[in-house]
Amino acid sequence: MPSPEVNRSIWFIVFPGFELLDLGGPLCAFNLAIDFHRAAYDVHVVSTSGGLVRGSSGVAIDTVAPPSPDHFDTLVVVGAAAAETLYAQSETAALVAALAPRARRKASVCTGAYLLAAAGVLDGHRATTHWRYVPEFQRRFPAIKVDADRIFVREDDVWTSAGITAGIDLALAMIEEDCGVEVSKAIARDLVVYHRRSGGQSQFSTMLDLEPGPGRIREALAYARAHLTERLSVEQLAGVAMISPRQFARQFAAETGETPARAVERLRCEAALPQIEGTTEPLDQIALQVGFGDVERMRRVCLRIYGQPPQALRRKSRHREA
């Protein structure tokens, strides 16, 4: 098992307009490993010229100019919310291209994948990025295999993560590799996050798109999330919203773009997916636990939402982890 005492230098690459949380989440995880678990990480924030670099939120970060050792441990490239900001980073991409061959492992957080790709680091690799930017990323870099629904992807010495907070998941996985599972679990507890977040990013984004504004429909949807094992008829949900079933169905569709029945099915799929992908629990039991009633209904809904039946989703997940 790797030891916390192993010395590892971590270099974060930032640039004007970078996303602060892309840096802050993983940086906090590594710093907790240093402060509370004796991990000998040597963390630096680097930019092309050093000095203060202002992020998109207006907060300026003090950086150092890139050092030039023959070898270092980990290169992490953060992203930005605006595509135009990323496209303007030719000097940063050149820096990444120069440093990457010296790093034991290369990584990106969110749209930082654009800079890894521009530097040639992702050539021939699978990768992921924020779900919103996947179509544009795939058009710009057609030779890269984009796994759009992963929280993070590791292939050989190259790691990429999904949107923003997924950088914390990536950092925890790196810390687990370096220092062991107990250290990464402890840091997850310190951060008050899941140690291993199962499932992909698309279902989170889908549910955000479904989310109505404040009011009765949101209350009914929250009730449905908390009572998935119940029948959840339109009449029951309308009762929660305290309006007639007919008015509820009409208002629900207007605010979410879905019928109540389809929305409940999506909620159940969202609840089932981590168990399908991350456990060996029988599929019929998972179907019962999330309210589908039988595995055949869960299979039909998975096919409609994810394009694959539960068995294929499970096999695909195991193949990724192999």
Give the pLDDT score at 1: 41
Place of tokens 């908390």: 226
Give the pLDDT score at 5: 47
Greater confidence (64 vs 272) lies with 64
Q: What is the CA radius of gyration of the chain?
A: 22
CA distances from 65 to 50, 90, 92, 180 (A): 4, 16, 12, 32
Q: What is the mean pLDDT of residues 229-249?
A: 95
Give the pLDDT score at 278: 77
Give the pLDDT score at 318: 74
Q: Distance between the two ends of the chain, CA-based, in angstroms?
A: 19
pTM for the complete prediction? 0.68
Structure tokens at 134: 């996947």
What band does 62 get if pLDDT is binned at 50, 70 and 90? very high
What band does 105 get if pLDDT is binned at 50, 70 and 90? very high
Calculate what percentage of the chain has a pLDDT beyond 90: 65
Let me know if 110 is a catalytic residue: yes
What band does 4 get if pLDDT is binned at 50, 70 and 90? very low
pLDDT at residue 246 is higher than 70? yes
Give the pLDDT score at 208: 60
Helix, strand and coil content of the chain, in percent to the nearest 5, comes to: 55, 15, 35
Of 28, 110, 269, 302, which is the active-site residue?
A: 110
Q: What is the mean pLDDT of residues 80-92?
A: 93
**Closest of 188, 225, 205, 196 to residue 149, by C-alpha:** 205
Phi, psi of 310 (to 5 degrees): -55, -40
CA distances from 238 to 67, 220, 230, 269 (A): 62, 7, 14, 22
Q: What is the mean pLDDT of residues 304-311?
A: 88
What band does 20 get if pLDDT is binned at 50, 70 and 90? very high
pLDDT at residue 97 is higher than 70? yes
What band does 244 get if pLDDT is binned at 50, 70 and 90? very high
Domain ranges of the chain: 8-191, 202-321
Length of the chain, please?
A: 322
DSSP 112: G
Per-residue pLDDT tens digits for 133-190: 888 999 999 999 888 778 899 999 999 999 889 999 999 999 999 999 999 999 999 9
Query: Which listed CATH number (2.60.120.260, 3.30.56.10, 1.10.530.10, 1.10.10.60) goes with 202-321?
Result: 1.10.10.60
pLDDT at residue 201 is higher than 80? no
Per-residue pLDDT tens digits for 204-214: 665 566 666 66
Greater confidence (150 vs 116) lies with 116
Task: Quote the CA–CA distance of 167 and 165 in Å, as a whole number.
Answer: 5
Residue 184 CB-density burial (10 A; 0-12 exposed, 13-18 middle, 19+ buried): buried
> For the chain, what is the mean pLDDT?
89
Give the pLDDT score at 311: 94
Residue 154 CB-density burial (10 A; 0-12 exposed, 13-18 middle, 19+ buried): buried
Q: Do domains 8-191 and 202-321 have the same CATH topology?
A: no
Burial state string for 156-171 with b = 16 or more CB within 10 A and e = fewer than 16: eebbbbbbbbbbbbbb
Whether residue 210 contacts residue 224, with contact meaning beta carbons closer than 8 Å, is answered with: no
What are the strands, taking DSSP E only, across the chain?
8-13, 41-46, 51-54, 60-63, 72-77, 103-108, 126-127, 145-146, 152-155, 158-161
DSSP 64: B
Q: What is the mean pLDDT of residues 77-105?
A: 95
Q: What is the mean pLDDT of residues 218-228?
A: 88
Give the pLDDT score at 234: 96
The domain made up of 8-191 has a fold known as Rossmann fold (3.40.50)
Task: Pick left, alpha or beta for residue 287 (phi over 0 → left; psi -120 to 50 → alpha; otherwise beta).
Answer: alpha
Task: Quote the CA–CA distance of 214 and 240 in Å, as a whole number.
Answer: 14
Give the pLDDT score at 295: 95
